[in-house]
Amino acid sequence: MKLRELPSVNSILENMDLSAISAPRSYITELIRSELANIREMAIDGDIPGSREMIRERIQQNVLKSAERSLRQVINGTGIVLHTGLGRAPLSFRMMEQAIRRVTGYTNLELDLISGKRGERLSHISGLLNALADSEASLAVNNNAAAVLLALNTVAEGKEVIISRGQLVEIGGSFRIPEVIAKSGAILKEIGTTNRTHQKDYLNAVTSKTGAILFAHTSNYKIEGFTAEVAIATLAKLSRKKRIPLVADLGSGALFDMKEINLPSELVVSDVLKQGAHLVTFSGDKLPGGPQAGLVCGKKGIVKKLHDNPLYRALRCDKVTLALLEEVLRSYQDIPVMRQNLTYRLLRTSRRSLMTRAERILADLPKSVVKTLDITAEPSEVEAGSGSLPTETIESVALKFNCNTAKPTELAAAFRRQTPSVLGYISGNRFLIDMKAVLPSQTRKLTETIKRVAAEIV
């Protein structure tokens, strides 16, 4: 078939049942045009294999597939509970249901139902967050980068922000502290060296141009050996003496001691505030186990200045995020059990329990499937993820595929193609599915998916 014989956009549209596609007609039209453009590019010599009808059918099938909702549930077999690519902190169905029920239709986001006057949207979470962080005041914005940006813009715009060179961190997605400081309108004042910074470095850097001292917790890496860092308590004394705000960016934001659930220790928000930090910022979707948000806790006077900053309005959270945050903060009613907080349910699941689940999957699989894919359940070590608890591993269990009839990359691709997609990892030239972040409710689905992959491999 020649290029001029290709079906038109309208002829393809006329033969499609658009009622079966939940998408605007303009979007479907663009998908068809894109498919036709791809066919023209492939037709090097002007001839296209297949009849006009076959081409139309192929385009329609591709368009139907492309028009499907792209955001979907997956099975996280990477072992990383706080996986940035998979949405970081997992949210339980019950928690989502409770939140959505309260914001469906209209809700009293900024209305005081007692007085009938305009209310404050942060009132739905501030009491809970203040109690958990032992802070005078708090607020929430759309992520921790926004929280740091807002804090520095408020207290140090046009002035210098002192920070140790060893804390000029970069996290995933090219978020760099120096660039955030620059965007805030403040001026970066580096002190010390990469591995050693002393109190005298801070003292020598303070001038009339100083707007704030920034402590950035290096939560995604650790320097060991010949090192020195000034403690937050010491920085707090200096900041009080010089009347300069101390801002602590904790990143992960633990709201209680991780040792209570047998996890590696992490800086606790309330402890940092007690040591004298004026403001503490951290992520809602890391160790708190909630939705994407930047949480700020600290002194009432400074938090009010952040709230009054016009930039806050551009960064504030919507009703859905606030509803989810409220549910997550309420889940801290039974520390350290945390029954309603899915992040902690996964993090604290013992290796013994995970081995039991893995062995149950193997027992439920046909022996032929286990033999074909040569699957074994083996102890593994994982990380929490997203820069949280980075220097220590957590005990887990993984299903290891020792299959010789398919390459590990082929197995990984086969699992990603399934519904739901299963994300694993490759180590030692073997494909593995770690059980740490597989939801208990997903074990049956995982079992069925393994069967389908085995059928494809054969």
Please determine, looking at this structure, whether the domain spanning 93-334 carries the CATH number 3.40.640.10. yes
Task: Quote the tokens at residue 313.
Answer: 């309005």
Q: What is the pLDDT of residues 166-198, one digit of tens each?
A: 999 887 666 789 999 999 999 999 999 989 999
Residue 47 has a pLDDT of 65
Pairing verdict, β 422-423 and 75-76: parallel
CA atoms within 13 Å, Cβ hemisphere of 174: 1
Distance CA 343, CA 256 (A): 14
Sorted by sequence, the CB contacts under 8 Å of residue 318 that are 6+ apart come out as none
Query: 3-state DSSP: the chain helix, strand, coil percent, rounded to 5?
Result: 45, 20, 35
Question: What is the structure's pLDDT at 390?
Answer: 66
Question: Where are the strands (E) in 18-89, listed by range?
Answer: 75-76
pLDDT at 391: 63
The confidence score (pLDDT) of residue 219 equals 67
**How confident is the model over 375-420, as pLDDT tens digits?**
999 999 998 886 777 667 899 999 999 998 899 999 999 999 999 9
Checking DSSP bridges between strand 430-434 and strand 422-423, what pairing results, if any? unpaired
Q: What is the distance between the alpha carbons of residues 346 and 340, in angstroms, rounded to a whole number?
A: 11
> So what's the pLDDT on residue 418?
96
229 and 194 Cβ atoms separated by less than 8 Å: no
In one-letter notation, the amino acid at residue 3 is: L
State which residues of the chain have pLDDT below 70.
1, 44-47, 172-174, 219-221, 386, 390-391
User: Over the chain, what is the mean pLDDT?
Assistant: 92
- Give CA–CA dist 355/334, Å, rounded: 26
User: Do 212 and 246 meet the contact criterion of CB atoms below 8 Å apart?
Assistant: yes
Q: 229: which 2 tokens?
A: 């860092």
75-84+346-457: CATH architecture: Alpha-Beta Complex (3.90)
Domains of the chain, by residue range, sit at: 3-66, 75-84+346-457, 93-334
What is the token pair recorded at 422? 């299963």
